[in-house]
Amino acid sequence: MPVSFRVFLSALLIASGCSAPQTSTQAGAIDPDSPAIATLNGEPITLAELDAWIKDQLLEEALEGKNASATHEFREERLLQLIDERLLADAAAAQGLEAEALLEQQRAAAAVSDEEIAKFYEENKERLGDATLEQMGPRIRSHLENRAKRQAEASFVEELRTAAALEILIDAPRVEVAAIGPALGPEDAPVTIVEFSDFQCPFCARAGPIVKALNAKYPEQVRIVYRHFPLDSIHPRARPAAEASACADEQGAFWPFHDLLFANTRALSDEDFARYAGEVGIDAEKFAQCMSEERHKDQVERDLQEGRRVGVSGTPSFFVNGRMLGGAQPVEEFVRLIEDELGRADSSS
């Protein structure tokens, strides 16, 4: 029978702000029979009180310095860990086992064949030097078996989640981000993604194909807005590249220019910008004048300040209807958030 499981958390525990956590004493969770481990002015301090204080301190340290989005991610990760532990405990109890024993059953079923070992050896031969398959076989087997065991565990837990009556009630914080800048998709799209990016950032370059894929998958449902966040301290040519892209945008060529910049993150000189302008077919004289006047210097700075205001500290950073998604995430993560937002839009209409 499928495991039945439903998660409810109080508003205090799931709040995404950075307020001080409620202590275990306040929550009434201290064991009244806990032994005293010290006395202070005649009042006992119990072991349970000490443990509760330590847990509160650890939580404060874990959340210190995190913005609302990072705090939410931390709590969501821990929530999923809690859910998985309870699902495993329930599934194991149904079979009269301990959770670790149930997991060991899943690991034991993860076999690795000689063919898989030989394939791994051939695919990595150049990195292994003169070592033969016979010499490397045991180490390769151990590596592949450990990987297979981890995958078996993860797949089993995912099956438990899928079978469970699970409802996640913790909601991500939303940040008001102005959707100002070059965009793909209609203005009235139910989902708006604001991207803060840096033309000299290799991770941002990897996000480019993801943006295109999302635009192709949701041409009418998603609007993607590009905003600049040059990391001047490590990418000295990112700001000039941002200004050059804005000059290209004046002539309706932002996105092809954007693609050329990300395809050439190590070639961002003023001469390169002029060459790219020619490649996208815009007026060279107008482009050169725009650059010489630094016409979009203030625009780039406004984008940078807006990013800092909403908690951006690295690139790329995305806001999906105000829900922050940092780093070069896989397209599946964007789809998950987009589908959730579309579902919310449908339910409210």
Instruction: Answer yes or no: is 169 within a domain.
Output: no
Q: How far apart are CA 17 and CA 264, in angstroms?
A: 40
Q: Is residue 56 part of a domain?
A: no
Question: pLDDT of 90-135, one tens digit each?
Answer: 999 999 999 999 999 999 988 899 999 999 999 998 888 888 999 9
16 within domain boundaries: no
- The pLDDT tens digits of the residues spanning 294-333 come to 999 999 999 999 999 998 989 999 999 999 988 888 999 9
Residue 50 has phi, psi (to 5 degrees) of: -60, -45
Is the predicted pLDDT of residue 2 greater than 90, yes or no? Answer: no
Q: How far is CA 189 from CA 54, 136, 193, 194, 341, in A?
A: 47, 55, 10, 13, 11
Domain range enclosing 205: 183-348
Please check whether residue 118 lies inside any domain of the structure. Answer: no
| Nearest partner of 287 among 249, 256, 258, judged by Cα | 249
| pLDDT the model gives residue 345 | 85
Write phi, then psi, for 225 (nearest 5 degrees): -115, 130
CB 331 within 8 A of CB 213: yes
In a domain, 123, yes or no: no
In a domain, residue 138? The reply is no
Q: Is 55 left (phi over 0), alpha (psi -120 to 50) or beta?
A: alpha
Strand order in the sheet with 222-228: 183-184, 222-228, 191-197, 317-320, 323-326
332 within some domain: yes
At 126-175, the pLDDT tens digits run 888 888 999 999 999 999 999 999 999 999 999 999 999 888 777 778 88
Q: The domain that contains 317 carries what CATH number?
A: 3.40.30.10
Residue 12 pLDDT > 70, yes or no? no
Average pLDDT score over residue span 1-7: 34
Whether residue 157 is contained in a domain is answered as: no
210 pLDDT exceeds 90?
A: yes
Q: In total, how many domains does the chain have?
A: 1
Please provide the distance, in angstroms rounded to a whole number, between the alpha carbons at the two ends of the chain: 36
What contacts 226, CB < 8 A, 6 or more positions away? Answer: 181, 182, 183, 195, 197, 254, 258
What's the mean pLDDT in 249-277?
97
SS3 117: helix
Mean pLDDT of all residues in the chain?
Answer: 88
